[in-house]
A and B are shown apart, each in its own frame.
Chain A
Amino acid sequence: MADVAELTVLAEQGGPPSARRSGRRSPLRRLMRQRMGVLALTLLIPLYLAAFVGPLAYRASPTKTDPLHANAAVSRAHPLGTDELGRDELARLLHGGRVTLSVGLVSMVVALAVGLLVGGVAGYYAGWVEIALMRFVDMFMSIPPFFLILVELAVFGNSPVIVIVVVGLSYWGQIARVVYAEFLRFRQADFVEAMSALGARGPRILFRHILPQVVPSAVVLATLVIAWSILTAAALSYLGLGIQPPLASWGNMLQNAQSYIWLDTKLAVFPGVLIGVSVLSFNLLGNALRDVLDPRNAGQ
């Protein structure tokens, strides 16, 4: 019954808002018209392929040390040379990419899940739930993210899972605020009132009807959160508090770069450039998606 009502209401409004926003063309087609978005995808697809398929093709071990051939130059056996312990640099970059890019994705899922839940519930339920949750968000956003992360790592240790969760939990406040603002707009919307009048209950309205409206903003935020997560996880690894060696990540490959920089510049350059390129791509993709999905930016 509720779905019938939804159709009626939406028909009166001229189709679901998300469909009206993007016009006739699919969002993907519109994205392809954004040159920067295309550039981002052409950078990201090879990066992901290299990280997730590359190690299957290039089978050198990323962890086998060979002190006699430490800091070796580029050669047939080692296409990108070796690091300070004689480990194959190319293998470490490929395996490290797997770890780094996965951390970005999983942290984003954590941030998005918590942000959507807290922001959505606070935005839908007026009253003390709203006040309590948003003060909690205020508190989380008052502690500078890196200080919060450092406390959490000091308390819970730094196993890979903890690092991923902690990085994800450092950015959910921003998502919660955006989702909250969107839900506030829809709390009073006609189609939501029509739903309640027809007897649909809170959770159903919340997840079936309002949540889809928030998807465009959430997609943009998610892309930017991946960029932030990759940067943050890399910085933690550099500080020696992130993903721990011998497991390679682009961040922890730079952990010793500062001491070996005089010996071997390439060890410090490769992982840094790869982190920069992936973060840049996600930032560009996020901006392109914002232009495509958010009508408020259409004119700029």
Chain B
Amino acid sequence: MLPRILRRLGQGLFVLLLVTVFTFVLVHLAPGGPSSVMRLGSTAAERAALRHQLGLDKPLPVQYLIWIGGVLHGNFGASLTGGEPVGPLIAQRLWNTVKLGVSVFAMILVFGTLFGVLAALRRNSWLDFLVNLASTLGMSIPDFWLGIMSILLFAVELHWFPASSTIDTSSTGVFQLVPYLVLPVGVLTFAVIPNIVRYARAAMLEAMSADYVRTARSKGLRQSTIVLKHAFKNALISVVSMLGLLLPVLLSGAVITESVFGWPGIGRLAVEAAMNRNYPVIMGVTVVAGAIVILTNIVVDTLYILIDPRIAHG
């Protein structure tokens, strides 16, 4: 079991290393790379001085090692627009995305599993049909458009919730944030939940047709015991293992949702950085997003190895 976990860890860290190299090379080899930002500098001497100051005159591998050394210490360089350090900027924005993301994760885990399992138990019923319809719509409606429409309905017409989150999220208490979170969390949940509903439905259908369920039934166990104690438990394990794979989808959705609602998270930061060609920020944000996905998946897979007795004793 331990070698298995260590191998998974090593593989994950190697992929993370690849992410940093790829991001760095992409940004530095491209025609519009960091050096092009300095066309504002008027004289050649000034440009050379700036190149030297930013370390862009060194060979690329050396530049990478300097950059990655800083990143490992939380130093992502200075923002090209304000000159502020990128590390604390990302940390602050990431915390806002965590508030959004954790709420969405809780919603999709509870309601996604619930609806998926119910649809599986009442297969081919009107409930199954409705759940299927709603998840197909969730996959098809552009989330930014749904955001605009929900602002129009709930903020402009009904005045239930504020239209955007232009608030100081750092000094506002969690409970005061709730009204600002309702619309973004709702929109992002609707966009991400179809994945988990479909998966939970399929996992539950598979579990209900498994041999151990037939055995439980032939023992004369009550239906509720079979469903809750036998089938659901097994279906839930595979649903939870799926959550790690959903993280990239969630973070991608956060880019859009945060932009629509003006939520100051890491996704909004990425869009701002891309628009301003703020390379230290965009490299930092990408590497951090990749690291979150990779580390979460290592943790999920490790838990899976620890929980699943077939692997633990196998």
Footprint of B on A, CB under 8 Å? 135-136, 138-139, 141-148, 150-157, 227, 231, 234-235, 238-241, 254, 257-258, 261-262, 265, 268-269, 272, 275-276, 279-280, 283-284, 287, 300
Contact = CB atoms under 8 A, between A and B. Distances in A.
A147 B289 contact: yes
Contacts of A143: 19, 23, 248, 286, 289-290, 293
A156 B33 CA distance: 9
B2 interface: no
B151 A258 contact: yes
B160 interface: no
A265 B151 CA distance: 12
Contact of B140 (A135, A157, A265, A279): A279
A154 B277 contact: yes
A234 B145 CA distance: 10
Nearest to B248: A144
Contacts of B145: 234, 238, 254, 268, 272, 275-276
Interface centre among A148, A150, A153, A276 (most CB of B within 10 A): A150
A276 B140 contact: yes
Interface string B30-41: 111100000000
Interface in B129-151: 136-137, 139-145, 148-149, 151
Interface in B280-308: 282-283, 285-286, 289-290, 293-294, 297
A155 B279 CA distance: 9
B251 interface: yes
Contacts of A276: 137, 140-142, 145
Contacts of A240: 275
A234 B270 contact: no
Contacts of A148: 286
B148 A145 contact: no
A280 B156 CA distance: 28
A145 B245 CA distance: 13
A254 B285 contact: no
Interface in B8-49: 11, 14-16, 18-19, 22-23, 26-27, 30-33
A241 B273 CA distance: 12
A146 B258 CA distance: 13
Contact of B148 (A151, A152, A261): A261
Interface string B245-285: 00111011001100110000001001101110101001101
Given A154-B282, A272-B149, A235 B142 contact: yes
Given A143-B290, A147-B251, A254-B144, A280 B137 contact: yes
Interface centre among A136, A227, A283, A284 (most CB of B within 10 A): A283
Give chain B's interface secondary structure class: helix
A279 B142 CA distance: 9
Contacts of B285: 147
B244 to A, nearest CB: 11
A138 B152 contact: no
Give chain A's interface secondary structure class: helix
22 contacts: A139-B15, A143-B293, A144-B247, A144-B255, A145-B248, A147-B255, A147-B285, A150-B255, A151-B23, A151-B26, A151-B27, A154-B277, A155-B27, A157-B32, A231-B140, A238-B259, A241-B275, A254-B148, A276-B140, A276-B142, A283-B139, A287-B136
A142 B11 CA distance: 12
A150 B19 contact: no
Contacts of B142: 231, 234-235, 238, 272, 275-276, 279
B217 to A, nearest CB: 19
A154 B80 CA distance: 14
Contact of A144 (B32, B251, B283): B251
A136 B27 contact: no
A148 B285 CA distance: 10
The 7 closest A-B pairs by CB, nearest first: A280-B140, A272-B145, A146-B252, A144-B251, A155-B30, A144-B248, A150-B274
Given A144-B251, A154-B279, A268-B149, A235 B23 contact: no
Contacts of B290: 139, 142-144, 147
A272 to B, nearest CB: 4
B231 interface: no
A268 B152 CA distance: 10
Interface centre among A234, A241, A258 (most CB of B within 10 A): A258
B197 interface: no
Given A145-B248, A146-B252, A150-B274, A262 B26 contact: no
A142 B148 CA distance: 29
Given A155-B26, A238-B144, A145 B252 contact: yes
A235 B144 contact: yes
B274 A241 contact: yes
Given A144-B249, A146-B256, A151-B282, 20 more contacts: A139-B22, A142-B19, A143-B290, A146-B270, A154-B273, A154-B277, A156-B30, A231-B142, A238-B142, A238-B144, A239-B271, A240-B275, A254-B148, A258-B151, A258-B260, A268-B149, A272-B141, A272-B145, A279-B140, A283-B136
